[in-house]
Amino acid sequence: MPAKDIYHNTVKNALIKDGWTITHDPLILSIGKKDLFVDLGAEKLIAAEKDSRKIAVEIKSFIGKSSVNDLENALGQYILYSQVLLEKQDDRVLYLAIKYSAYEDIFEEPIGKILLKRKIVNLLVFNPKKEEVMEWIS
């Protein structure tokens, strides 16, 4: 099993504060002879609809020397996980969890705006100090 991201517990706590129930830590996706490990699986009851919303969350710290290199690696993993989720658990939506400073550095710049405009990635932006979800971007 891969090592947990430095913000793993931060994001987990932020999700719980936001009303989510953590259902998987990690969420294991088996396909063929391979296992993929998405950081978290969570569910939230939608009372008005008497239904639940399910998500998978991949957490990335973006603390490398190059934010572009971090983005390239995160996107590769995100795309792989999202495609396997479509095959295995199509009721679950994948989010990439990043701290607000990484969001500013990448997704408020043209390179990130392209990804958001084309809906390539769903983001969960969090505040690491307050352990709170700041924004959901789909």
Each of the 138 residues of the chain gets a pLDDT tens digit; together they read 778 999 999 999 999 999 999 999 999 999 999 999 999 999 998 766 567 899 999 999 999 999 999 999 999 999 999 999 999 999 999 999 999 999 999 999 999 999 999 999 999 999 999 999 999 999
**Three-state SS sequence of the chain:** CCCCCCCHHHHHHHHHHCCCEEEECCEEEEECCEEEEECEEEEEEEHHHCEEEEEEEEECCCCCCCHHHHHHHHHHHHHHHHHHHHHHCCCEEEEEEEEHHHHHHHHCCHHHHHHHHCCCCCEEEEECCCCEEEEEEC
Range 32-48 burial, b when 16+ CB lie within 10 A, else e: eeeebebbbbbeeeeee
pLDDT at 49: 58
pLDDT at 32: 96
DSSP structural state of residue 74: H
pLDDT at 103: 98
pLDDT at 131: 98
Domain boundaries, the chain: 8-137
Model confidence, pTM: 0.94
pLDDT at 46: 76
Q: Choose the CATH number for 8-137 among 3.40.50.2000, 3.40.1350.10, 3.40.50.9100, 3.30.70.3280.
A: 3.40.1350.10
pLDDT at 52: 85
- Examine residue 26 and say whether the peptide bond preceding it is cis (omega within 30 degrees of 0): yes
